[in-house]
Amino acid sequence: MSTPGASPSSITTGDTTPPARLLLVEDDRFLRKAAEVVLRRQGFEVVTAEDGEGGLAVARESHPALILLDLIMPRMPGYEVIQHLKQDPATADIPVIVMSNLGQEADVRQAIDAGAIAYVVKSNVALHDLADRVHAVLEGRRG
Amino acid sequence: MSAPLPIPASETPPSSLSVEPVPVLAADDDPVSRRILRQALRKWGYRPVLCANGADALERLLAADGPRVALLDWEMPGVDGIEVIRLVRARTPAMSHYLLLLTGRADNADLVRGLDAGADDYLAKPFDLEVLRARISVGARLMSLQRALGRRMHDLAQAEARYRELVEGVGVAVWQADTTSWQLSFLNRHGEHVIGHPHARCLAAADLWSAHALPDDWPRLLEFRQRLIERGEAPPIEYQLRRADRSVAWLRDTVRLVTGGDGTPQVRGVTQDVTAQKLAEAEREAALRMQASFVSFASHQLRTPLTGISWTLEMAEHEDGVPPAAAEGIALARAAASRLIVLVNDLLDSARLESGRIEMARAPLDLGRVTTGALTSIRPMAERAGHDLVVEAPAAPVAVLADERYLHECLVNLLSNAVKYTPAGGRITVRLDARERVARWSVTDNGIGIPPAGLARLFTKFYRAANAESLETEGTGLGLYMVQLIVTRLNGRVWCESALGEGSTFFVELPLAPAE
């Protein structure tokens, strides 16, 4: 069992690049916990925030490689968080994957228009698939 | 006193085609003259109406269905011929009677007196019966024309009245205005109720619309006018107008450009009050929005704890040292959570499809590509069940105008049904072909089939055939319902042919995209 907060344990490739840091902004503590554990197990460093403002603050402090962002949250909804991120040159380039249980076309369009690079409906995706999406995005960026 | 008339020698029937003999009144105080006139009139094909004095003649001529042609002897005791003519003329519309004055007086002064009194013609005694016949015939023809004209006028008046009733009665404003000032030159009486300002003020206003239309709608009205003037036509416009009682009405103007009497362009318009429709529409919209947002909210609220269960189980599944029995339990719980999620998603999708508020693209789309995509999605599931997947599709694209995402969902739905309801090691065939004007998909399996009783209800909401229900397989009873909603929405049709225990074929037909 991996210990939360410990350094990632699953670097098996032997390369010396540090694990990619992900920011997970999610207000539901069960979801936050499960996603955090599974993503860590997948080799990511995970920092978390439990509302929109917190997420924005952590993004500015910790410069994550990618942000997983919920939409419906207390203290600033996800859409607004994206706008703030995109307005700030320090955070504008961080890719944002929106993960929400809203799933109508209008919701997706609004998130993509705001600057998200992908949109996942949480209930329809397993955490392993989510981890694969994150890898794909980061590799795309690197390549 | 009039001289006796000679008995008519020759007679020709009047040129009138009417079956009923035309009545002709003859008034003469001399019985012999009356007898001769009666015989003559009868021979010529008229119905003689004889009167011995002026008062009697007057009464008959003024009767509603009385004779319209009359021969009147001037010289009669009491009311004489001239007096009869004067009184008839005074009491009836012009040209209603043809009155011929017969007299022994032959000087010009008398003639002028007779004609001045209103006689149509004048015949001096003794006269030739042929001349009389010809005169009566002229009179009868004139009166027949007059009657026809009268009927036509009456019809016209009726039509006019009907038109008025229409214009005044259907609750629209009918108006005319010139295209420069937009001041009304005409407005029907009822128009004031539609527009909501007194009739006189509507006509007096320099520009009714600029005075009372809500400012938000004014730019659209200006565009509408410009378009009308530039192109000669414009589609109807709906706008809000403040009425004299300060309430706001939704009005709809349908207009066309006409040329006025003075050659200037004029707008002729009909204005309807559509406030009630607008309110009903808004209520319906609000109800649909509420339903949509409720569905959206409810699905979000349901999905979040389900995701919690699902993700937590996924987290637990891969923990080190989970006992096998627990791992099995976790896997089952995950599967159950997935089923619940599918159910929630299906409910959401079908509710949205039902509300009609879903946006469905109508882009040219190759069904071959959709087929390949759906097969890719379903292949892992089919392989797990040991089924053979066979595709028969033309090499050339089969283009329809549709939404790829929804059609993909349809085909995946039909394929997953085929996989689920076919015992392991079955054969599932997808065929695609283009027929005349329609594209047809068919999905055939050699599975459990559908009982005849179930076929009819197969596409109804929450229906699951008896043998599908008893099978331990997941299914929400919404899949085929949604397929049907989507296909119908795309102007296509879906149906099924099946033999119990042998297999089923589902067909989907969609209109082909029109050739480029």
Q: What is the DSSP string of B260-329?
A: -TTS-EEEEEEEEE-HHHHHHHHHHHHHHHHHHHHHHHHHHHHHHHHHHHHHHHHHHHTSTT--HHHHHH
> Which tens digits make up the pLDDT trace of B114-172?
888 888 888 888 888 888 888 888 888 888 888 888 788 877 877 776 666 665 556 78
pLDDT at B500: 86
Residues 6+ apart with CB under 8 A from B175: B184, B186, B187, B188, B191, B202, B268, B269, B270, B271
Residue B8's pLDDT band (boundaries 50, 70, 90)? very low
Question: Which of A101, A105, A119, A120 is the best substitution to test chain B (most B C-beta atoms within 10 A)?
Answer: A101
Tell me if ipTM is over 0.90.
no
What totals of helices (H) and strands (E) does chain A contain, helices first? Answer: 5, 5
- CB nearest A31 (choices: B311, B344, B345): B311
Q: Cβ B311–A105 below 8 Å, yes or no?
A: no
> What 8-state DSSP symbol labels residue B472?
-
In chain B, residues with a C-beta closer than 8 Å to the C-beta of A34 are 308, 311-312, 314-315
Question: Above 70 in pLDDT, residue B192?
Answer: yes
Q: Smallest CA–CA separation between B488 and chain A, in Å?
A: 21
| Chain B interface residues (partner A, CB cutoff 8 A) | 296, 299-300, 303-308, 310-312, 314-315, 318-321, 341, 344-345, 348, 352, 359
Cα separation, B363 vs B386, whole angstroms = 36
- CB nearest A101 (choices: B304, B318, B319): B304
Which chain A residue shows the shortest CA-CA distance from B344?
Answer: A123
Cα separation, B46 vs B25, whole angstroms = 10
Q: Smallest CA–CA separation between B303 and chain A, in Å?
A: 6
pLDDT at B10: 42
Q: Cβ A37–B359 below 8 Å, yes or no?
A: no
Query: In this structure, are residues B352 and A104 in contact, taking their beta carbons and an 8 Å threshold?
Result: yes
Q: Cβ A105–B318 below 8 Å, yes or no?
A: no
Which chain A residue shows the shortest CA-CA distance from B304?
Answer: A101
pLDDT averaged per 10 residues, chain A (length 143): 42 63 93 92 93 94 94 89 92 93 84 92 90 90 64
Which chain B residue shows the shortest CA-CA distance from A107?
Answer: B296
Q: Rg for chain B (alpha carbons), in Å?
A: 45
φ/ψ of residue B496, rounded to 5: -140, 140
Query: In this structure, are residues B58 and B84 in contact, taking their beta carbons and an 8 Å threshold?
Result: yes
pLDDT at B56: 93
The residue ranking higher by pLDDT, B278 or A47, is A47
Q: Closest Cα partner for B1 from B80, B107, B111, B76?
A: B76
Q: Which residue type does B351 have?
A: A
Q: Cβ A34–B308 below 8 Å, yes or no?
A: yes
Residues 6+ apart with CB under 8 A from A99: A26, A68, A69, A70, A119, A120, A121, A122, A125, A130
In chain A, residues with a C-beta closer than 8 Å to the C-beta of B359 are 105
Which chain A residue shows the shortest CA-CA distance from B293?
Answer: A104
Question: Which of A123, A127, A129, A130 is the best substitution to test chain B (most B C-beta atoms within 10 A)?
Answer: A123
Q: Smallest CA–CA separation between A41 and chain B, in Å?
A: 9
Question: Which of B294, B306, B315 is the best substitution to test chain A (most A C-beta atoms within 10 A)?
Answer: B315
Q: Cβ B320–A72 below 8 Å, yes or no?
A: no
Mean of per-residue pLDDT scores for chain B: 84
Q: Cβ A34–B318 below 8 Å, yes or no?
A: no
pLDDT at B162: 66
Q: Cβ A101–B344 below 8 Å, yes or no?
A: no
Is residue B126 reached through a cis peptide bond, with omega within 30 degrees of 0 on the bond before it? yes
pLDDT at B12: 45
Cα separation, A9 vs B320, whole angstroms = 14
Q: Cβ A123–B312 below 8 Å, yes or no?
A: no
Q: Smallest CA–CA separation between B304 and chain A, in Å?
A: 6
> Which tens digits make up the pLDDT trace of B163-185?
666 655 567 898 999 888 899 98
| Chain A to chain B Cβ contacts (< 8 Å) | 65
Which chain B residue shows the shortest CA-CA distance from A126?
Answer: B311
Question: Above 60 in pLDDT, residue B3?
Answer: no
Angle of helix B31-43 relative to helix B129-169, nearest 10 degrees, comes to 70
Question: Which of B293, B294, B304 is the best substitution to test chain A (most A C-beta atoms within 10 A)?
Answer: B304
What totals of helices (H) and strands (E) does chain B contain, helices first? Answer: 16, 17
> Which tens digits make up the pLDDT trace of B401-437?
888 888 998 999 999 989 988 999 999 999 999 888 8
| Chain A interface residues (partner B, CB cutoff 8 A) | 1, 28, 30-31, 33-35, 37-38, 41, 72, 100-105, 121-124, 126-128
